[in-house]
Amino acid sequence: MIFIVPFCPMPSPFAARTSVEAVEEGMLLAPKFDVHGLIPVITTDAVTGEVLMHAYMNEAALLKTLETGEAHYYSRSRQQLWHKGATSGLVQTVQQFLIDDDQDCLWMKVPVAMSAIALASTARFPLARAIQQLVSPTPSLLQKPPKH
């Protein structure tokens, strides 16, 4: 005998997005994940405000971050959950976790350890550089407008 069991996805632990008012003015966490199940997160130094990174979280990463107080992200390139600092030792402990009014973008503030400050080229945004330093296939995009 064969039994067919319908697929029943696990219910989300987050609030349903029932109305704009409920999301923007209510007191329930109802994050808006995109069609890929991701939500962007900006992580900044809790003291200086310097942007450390931009990444994404899926529901599991967001739940793990809320549960542990340490940053977990979803790696799009590796297609897996990523505990920041698990290999480098530069764990990001969440000091403050914010969400914008329509709940489609997260902002984490984390303290930067002294060892991370000493390793600024790797601990912070390792690829951050001024756009003007890059060569563009369309040079006019990077030129300043003429002064009158």
Buried-state track 114-134, b at ≥16 Cβ within 10 A, e below 16: eebeeeeeebbeeeeeeeeee
- 26-30, 103-107, 128-132: the lowest-pLDDT one: 128-132
Residues 63, 97: contact at Cβ < 8 Å? Answer: no
Q: Which domains does the chain have, with CATH numbers?
A: 38-125 (3.10.20.810)
Mean pLDDT over residues 68-93, rounded?
93
Alpha-carbon radius of gyration of the chain: 20
54 beta partners: 42
User: What would the pLDDT profile of 35-72 be if each residue is shown by its tens digit?
Assistant: 999 999 999 999 999 999 999 999 999 999 999 999 99
Q: How far apart are CA 48 and CA 84, in angstroms?
A: 20
